[in-house]
Amino acid sequence: MSRVDHIAGHTWHGRKGAVRNAFRYSIDYVLLDAEAEVDAPRLFGRNRGGLASLHDADHGGPPHQGIGAPWVREVLKSYQLPQPVTVELLAQPRMLGHVFNPVSFWLCRDEGGGLRQVIAEVTNTFGDRHSYLCHKPDGSVIAAQDRLRSDKIFHVSPFQKVDGGYEFRFDLRADRIGIWIDLTGGDGGLVATLTGPRRALTNRGLLSAMLRRPFGSRRVLALIHWQALKLWWKGAKYRSRPEPPESEVSR
């Protein structure tokens, strides 16, 4: 049995360029071994209902049509990368049955627990999804100081061009996580972070999350649209949604 971890953390976004905007919100993520039976509190469901839950159908493939960790292994095989010993998923859970994850992370580890690959699974508010495969050119363990780059080819915000590139940094510890994403280009770019302590998930922690951040991902969607309204008010140029890329994954 594998435990489920709770990251009651914060996300910070700072837009660069002519139209600047920044915000910081509290947010809840869970982290678990996506291929193991989990030792979870009663209020958490794994592929079943619960106050909070994590379902394979929500990850590893199109939204609501995912297959979970087997998708990750197929992606790595298609890129001729070594198969991981452990596949972990870091994602916002469903809360009261609703889910929306702007970005989730598949963490692929070797026999010693070293992080070898990360797949950043990005979903926009239009219902499209694209994933960025991150790894070092020589396949070695990803360290906290490493910066991994991917070209941006997926439409996320209607106030950002689809150009430039992402620079990812991952500092994933036993007691804390830190993820930094720096976008260059795209109307000046932006910086997005996810940081917070890592603790075993408990019923008390879930209830506290519901009291402090009610409605879970519904709240996330509302905050996204609030920030979009602020950008429009500040004069940022709105761009219509382009067709998503044909490829499901890029690197």
158 near 239, Cβ under 8 Å?
A: yes
**Over the chain, what HEC string results?**
CEECEEEEEEEEEEECCCCCEEEEEEEEEEEEECCCCEECCCCEEECCCCCEEECHHHCCCCCCCCCCHHHHHHHHHHCCCCCCCEEEEEECCEECCECCCCEEEEEEECCCCCEEEEEEEEECCCCCEEEEEECCCCCCCCCCCCCEEEECCCCCCCCCCCCCEEEEEEEECCCEEEEEEEEECCCCCEEEEEEEECEECCHHHHHHHHHHCCCCHHHHHHHHHHHHHHHHHHCCCCCCCCCCCCCCEEC
pLDDT for 150 equals 96
Flag whether pLDDT at 202 surpasses 90. Answer: yes
At 92-134, the pLDDT tens digits run 999 988 888 999 999 999 999 999 999 999 999 999 999 999 9
61 near 130, Cβ under 8 Å?
A: no
Distance (Å, rounded) from C-alpha 74 to C-alpha 9? 31
Distance (Å, rounded) from C-alpha 97 to C-alpha 233? 33
pLDDT for 34 equals 98
Flag whether pLDDT at 135 surpasses 70. Answer: yes
- What's the whole-number mean pLDDT along residues 241-251? 92
> Which tokens is 42 given?
């009663």
Residue 7 banded pLDDT, cuts 50, 70, 90: very high
- What's the whole-number mean pLDDT along residues 155-168? 91
Distance (Å, rounded) from C-alpha 12 to C-alpha 22? 7
pLDDT for 112 equals 96
pLDDT for 187 equals 74
pLDDT for 211 equals 84
Model's pTM, two decimal places? 0.94
At 16-42, the pLDDT tens digits run 887 888 888 999 999 999 999 999 999
At 215-233, the pLDDT tens digits run 777 887 788 878 878 878 8
pLDDT for 191 equals 93
Residue 186 banded pLDDT, cuts 50, 70, 90: low
